[in-house]
């Protein structure tokens, strides 16, 4: 039997999400609800680091502070390690930022990051160690990389309003040398022999499970078939929310078995002036006492020639155009 109450509110929120002109009066959010915010790639190096040095660590979140305040879980993909040591890996782009820039995340309320991506090992295991130490010293939860595969597979668990929120992070990107092994540091590639078991085990310990996936192809608007298949299998094995990133641009949203999948959240605070990465979104998931979820998309401008590393919420025609595009990508 279909739960018509749940189906009604899912439909309402999906309409609000994809059709900005749609309006309905909703009850005030209960204090027991858990609020989760998901954002895409954060890389505060290059030009961004100089702007932050000149303007202060509170600068990047100035336009978003009211929107993101009060979240129980605030996630971003940490696309650059915090560190000063190590030797650059031989590839086109290598990222590393000063550990002091962790203050930007703290100022914005970010308390959960993925280390599973194709840049966290750009300066080797010594810089990864510095990153983990920086996060631990500042009470920011993380998953997805470590000194060996056992550590890279280790989940983070956040206590929020009496509930346990579990988190695992996976990277399906190259170079393969960045993948952790039994004896070497790196990121967690979700090999089938353990990944789904890890998700099931985490679900037994937690009330709600978030999975971060660094996947897909850069600047591609649609997910590859393997992304869809993997997202569905992760949910089949206990995941409640999938947050994707790596393409640097937005991909569509899917609801599978009442669970939300954001295939790519695009960029967030990112140190480039890319012409391609213009719009992005904050994915807001609200979880009630019955663990029913509602979703809201908050579109943001991340085109740094406009916002100069200080994302701003889209409005007017730009907002409407974003939602229309997201609707088409989500079909």
Task: For residues 220 and 242, give the distance between their C-alpha atoms in angstroms, rounded to a whole number.
Answer: 18
Query: Does the pLDDT value for residue 189 go beyond 50?
Result: yes
- Domains of the chain in start order, with CATH, are 31-316 (3.60.21.10)
pLDDT at 4: 34
Q: Distance (Å, rounded) from C-alpha 311 to C-alpha 194?
A: 38
Q: Both tokens of residue 255?
A: 């609801």
Which DSSP helix (H) or strand (E) runs through 171? Answer: strand 163-171
Query: What is the DSSP pairing of strand 279-287 with strand 208-214?
Result: unpaired
| Percent of the chain clearing pLDDT 90 (strictly above) | 88
Phi, psi of 116 (to 5 degrees): -90, 90
Please compute the mean of the pLDDT values over residues 250-266 and round it to a whole number.
97
Q: Does the structure show a pLDDT above 90 at 326? A: yes
Query: pLDDT value at position 271?
Result: 87
State the pLDDT at residue 18. Answer: 52
3-state SS class at 13 = helix
> Is the pLDDT higher at 273 or at 119?
119
Q: What is the pLDDT of residue 14?
A: 54
Give whole-number Cα distances, 20 to 8, 96, 190, 297, in Å. 18, 38, 37, 10
Q: Is the pLDDT of residue 26 over 50?
A: no
User: Global pTM?
Assistant: 0.92
The reported pLDDT for the residue numbered 24 is: 40
Q: What is the pLDDT of residues 47-77, one digit of tens each?
A: 999 999 999 999 999 999 999 999 999 999 9
pLDDT above 70 covers what percent of the chain?
91
Q: Which residues contact 300 (CB under 8 A, 6 or more apart)?
A: 64, 279, 280, 281, 282, 311, 312, 313, 314
pLDDT at 295 over 70: yes
| Residue pointed to by tokens 């599973």 | 116
Mean pLDDT is lowest, of 11-25, 112-126, 187-201, 296-310, for 11-25
At a CB cut-off of 8 Å and minimum separation 6, what does 153 contact? 146, 168, 188, 194, 198
Residue 11 has pLDDT above 70, yes or no: no
């Amino acid at each position: 039997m279909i739960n018509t109450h749940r189906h009604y509110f899912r439909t309402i929120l999906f309409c609000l999400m994809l059709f900005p002109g749609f309006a309905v009066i909703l009850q005030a959010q209960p204090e027991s609800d858990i609020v989760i915010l998901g954002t895409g790639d954060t890389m505060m190096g290059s030009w961004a680091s100089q702007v932050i040095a000149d303007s202060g660590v509170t600068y990047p979140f100035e336009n978003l502070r009211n929107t993101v305040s009060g979240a129980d879980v605030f996630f971003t993909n940490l696309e650059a390690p915090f560190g000063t040591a190590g030797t650059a890996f031989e590839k086109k782009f290598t990222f590393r930022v000063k550990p002091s820039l962790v203050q930007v995340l703290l100022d914005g309320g970010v308390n959960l990051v993925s280390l599973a991506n194709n840049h966290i090992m750009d300066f080797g295991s010594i810089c990864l160690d510095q990153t983990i130490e920086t996060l631990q010293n500042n009470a920011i939860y993380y998953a997805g990389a470590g000194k060996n595969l056992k550590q890279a597979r280790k989940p983070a668990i956040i206590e929020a309003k009496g509930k346990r929120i579990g988190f695992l992070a996976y990277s399906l990107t190259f170079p393969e040398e960045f993948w952790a092994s039994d004896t070497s540091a790196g990121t967690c590639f979700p090999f089938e022999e353990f990944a789904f078991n890890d998700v099931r085990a985490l679900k037994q310990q937690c009330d709600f499970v978030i999975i971060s996936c660094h996947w897909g192809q850069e600047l591609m608007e649609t997910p590859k078939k393997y992304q869809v298949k993997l997202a569905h299998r992760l949910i089949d094995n206990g995941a409640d929310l999938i947050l994707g990133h790596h393409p640097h641009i937005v991909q569509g949203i899917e609801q599978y078995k009442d669970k939300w999948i954001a295939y790519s959240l695009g960029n967030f605070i990112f140190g480039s002036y890319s012409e391609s990465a213009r719009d992005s979104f904050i994915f807001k998931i609200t979880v009630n006492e019955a663990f029913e979820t509602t979703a809201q998309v908050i579109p943001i401008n991340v085109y740094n020639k406009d916002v100069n590393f200080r994302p701003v919420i889209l409005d007017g025609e730009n907002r409407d155009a974003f939602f229309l595009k997201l609707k088409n990508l989500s079909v």
